[in-house]
């Protein structure tokens, strides 16, 4: 997104008190206009008071009206916003179509959804109505929710010869939030169909397999898109059942199966927190830091990464200590950089072991077994128990069988044709080694970062929904129901 200094336009579509719009004006450089929109008259009055209180009248403008209409009024190229923030209570689905039209080319769209029950599979019919996808109840449901939202945004963008480039996608607390760059290219938008996959999940052992909904074939200058060849032999047998446990297989999705983060973008965010991703001897500001006694002492003592970053921020930005969420931001972003970018969804290692009622080994031992077998694995920011790996399902179940064998768990413990019986009777075809692998422990863990914060204190969670939403009668999107007189009342009025 290339704009001249002082010419950036931002829309805070559902502004409420105007807090975020004011922060944009005061904390982001080169902004010429921030439009703070809300459909509540009381909210707009509050926005106007906060604008005056913070002295940003020359940048922030309030607007009373429907957010969809506000974005549709800025569809033309010369009026588009360079960034749009959608943060509704519940689902943002009704705003997506107008949002992808109102963002400038290479602009950023920021979307938050708090309807996690819908996105995580509690009501698949509601998820389909809102996002054109069927959600899945699985241990990886929070990443699944992110990918459902990204698929929906990309689908809306494709209708206007546009496509998305995910920059950062997170699931935290009670919501998902994604940051995507909107690009315009009818040719590249066609590739979006290759980034969408159906998800097949076993109802018994919870094994997963993805299948893209289309494939792309390039021969010279010829490009052809065609339906995929159905190949699910890793999960589904000839009888249509799971090859591992014999149970039924469910289909969900489609979801966005391409990478959901741009690691270069994430690393730049971390740099803003004070981390230098280059070699410290080649870094100009690290050389400058070394002249400071405190930081020099920290470097000589080789502290953990968090201490070094904190020292840098105190020197580079005296107000850094005011950032109360510093530890959490650094931890979450660092975990994201450790995720496998090309492996959608994940398992929980204790859930795999529970299938055979086996004692649960340390997750670092399971990761070591996967790495020793020549495959990759990582953690995921969505779940502290996540096991994200490109290893085949046969290897994962061989690890489970080996753990069960080492704990003297016999097939006779399970009923005939049960899930555990079918899995434990399977042949171990891989050589499993639990020898500690040097890469099994994540770097963020070694640096003692705050990776997964548990917020269950006082007043935690979403507040009550505000009145006067876009679905209300006042907004004109629903017809007010009038009670019809009953037959008895009609007769009595006639007489």
Q: Give the contacts of 409 (CB within 8 A, at least 6 positions apart).
A: 356, 357, 358, 424
Q: Is residue 130 very low, low, confident or very high in pLDDT (cuts 50, 70, 90)?
A: very high
Position 359 in a domain: yes
Position 57 in a domain: no
Compute the distance between CA of residue 452 and CA of residue 384 in angstroms, rounded to an integer.
Answer: 7
Quick: pLDDT tens for 1-18. 556 556 899 999 999 999
| b (16+ CB within 10 A) / e for 155-170 | bbbbeeebbbbbbbbb
What pLDDT is attached to residue 260? 98
Q: Tokens at residue 483, please?
A: 């009670």
Q: Give the contacts of 465 (CB within 8 A, at least 6 positions apart).
A: 89, 90
Query: Is 218 exposed, middle or buried (CB count within 10 Å of its CB: 0-12, 13-18, 19+)?
Result: exposed
Position 247 in a domain: no
Compute the distance between CA of residue 7 and CA of residue 59 in angstroms, rounded to an integer.
Answer: 11
Compute the distance between CA of residue 129 and CA of residue 292 in angstroms, rounded to an integer.
Answer: 58
Position 187 in a domain: yes
Domain of 97: which CATH number? 3.40.50.150
Strands 222-226 and 31-38: unpaired
Domain of 425: which CATH number? 3.30.56.70
Position 416 in a domain: yes
Number of folded domains that form the chain: 2
Q: Quick one: which of 433, 413, 435 has its CA closest to 423?
A: 413
Strands 175-184 and 162-172: antiparallel
Is the pLDDT at 105 greater than 70? The verdict is yes
What pLDDT is attached to residue 288? 45
Select from 168, 192, 216 the last residue of a domain.
192
Select from 167, 192, 217 the last residue of a domain.
192
Quick: pLDDT tens for 401-452. 999 999 999 999 999 889 999 999 999 999 999 999 999 998 888 888 888 8
Position 324 in a domain: no
* 197 neighbors 257 (Cβ within 8 angstroms): yes
What pLDDT is attached to residue 467? 57
Compute the distance between CA of residue 373 and CA of residue 391 in angstroms, rounded to an integer.
Answer: 9
What pLDDT is attached to residue 423? 94
Quick: pLDDT tens for 247-277. 999 999 999 999 999 999 998 888 877 643 3
Q: Supply the range of the domain harboring residue 161.
A: 66-192
Query: Is 52 exposed, middle or buried (CB count within 10 Å of its CB: 0-12, 13-18, 19+)?
Result: exposed
Quick: pLDDT tens for 30-74. 899 999 999 999 999 999 999 999 999 999 999 999 999 999 999
Q: Is residue 91 very low, low, confident or very high in pLDDT (cuts 50, 70, 90)?
A: very high
The predicted model gives 367-372 an average pLDDT of: 97
Position 431 in a domain: yes
**Cα 345 to Cα 187, 261, 442, distances in angstroms:** 29, 14, 18
Higher pLDDT, 341 or 470: 341
Average pLDDT of the chain to the nearest whole number: 85
Select from 192, 216, 232 the last residue of a domain.
192
The predicted model gives 308-316 an average pLDDT of: 52
Q: pTM of the predicted model, to two decimals?
A: 0.86
Position 489 in a domain: no
Q: Tokens at residue 123, please?
A: 């009501």
Quick: pLDDT tens for 172-217. 888 999 999 999 999 999 999 999 999 999 999 999 999 999 999 9
């Amino acid at each position: 997104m290339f704009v001249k200094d002082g010419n950036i336009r931002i829309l805070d579509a559902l502004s409420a008190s105007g807090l975020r719009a004011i922060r944009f004006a005061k904390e982001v450089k080169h902004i010429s206009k921030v439009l703070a929109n809300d459909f509540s008259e009381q909210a707009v009055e509050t926005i106007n008071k906060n604008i005056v209180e913070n002295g940003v009248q020359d940048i922030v403008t309030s607007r009373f009206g429907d957010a969809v209409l506000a974005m549709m009024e800025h569809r033309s190229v010369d009026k588009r916003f360079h960034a749009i923030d959608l943060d509704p209570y519940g689902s943002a689905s009704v705003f997506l179509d107008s949002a992808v039209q109102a963002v400038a080319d290479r602009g950023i769209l920021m979307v938050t959804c708090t309807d996690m029950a819908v996105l995580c599979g509690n009501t698949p019919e509601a998820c389909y109505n809102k996002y054109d996808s069927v959600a899945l109840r699985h241990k990886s449901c929070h990443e699944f929710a992110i990918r459902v939202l990204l698929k929906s945004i990309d689908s809306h963008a494709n209708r206007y010869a546009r496509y998305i480039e995910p920059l950062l996608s997170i699931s935290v607390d009670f919501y998902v939030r994604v940051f995507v760059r909107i690009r315009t290219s009818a040719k590249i938008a066609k590739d979006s169909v290759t980034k969408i996959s159906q998800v097949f999940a076993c109802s018994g052992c919870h094994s997963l397999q993805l299948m893209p909904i289309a494939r792309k074939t390039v021969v010279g200058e010829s490009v052809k898109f065609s339906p995929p060849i159905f190949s699910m032999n890793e999960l589904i047998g000839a009888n249509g059942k799971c090859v591992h446990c014999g149970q039924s297989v469910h289909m969900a999705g489609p979801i966005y199966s391409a990478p959901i983060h741009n690691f270069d973008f994430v690393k730049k965010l971390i740099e803003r927190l004070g981390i230098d991703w280059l070699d410290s001897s080649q870094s100009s500001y690290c050389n400058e830091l070394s002249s400071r006694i405190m930081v020099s002492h920290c470097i000589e003592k080789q502290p953990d990464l968090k201490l070094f970053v904190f020292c840098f921020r105190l020197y580079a930005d005296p107000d850094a200590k005011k950032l109360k969420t510093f530890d959490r931001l650094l931890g979450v972003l660092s975990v994201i950089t450790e995720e496998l970018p090309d492996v959608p969804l994940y398992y929980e290692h204790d859930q795999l072991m529970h299938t055979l009622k086996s004692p649960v080994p340390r997750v670092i031992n399971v990761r070591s077994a996967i790495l020793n077998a020549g495959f990759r694995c990582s953690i995921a920011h969505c779940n502290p128990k996540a096991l994200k790996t490109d290893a085949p399902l046969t290897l994962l179940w061989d690890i489970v069988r080996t753990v069960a064998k080492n704990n003297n768990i016999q097939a006779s413990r399970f009923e005939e044709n049960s899930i555990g019986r079918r899995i434990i009777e399977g042949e171990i075809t891989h050589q499993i080694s639990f020898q500690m692998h040097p890469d099994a422990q994540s770097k963020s863990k070694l640096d003692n970062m705050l990776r997964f914060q548990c917020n269950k204190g006082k007043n935690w969670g979403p507040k009550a929904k505000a009145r006067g939403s876009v679905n209300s009668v006042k907004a004109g999107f629903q017809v007010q129901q009038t009670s019809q007189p009953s037959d008895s009342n009609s007769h009595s009025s006639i007489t």
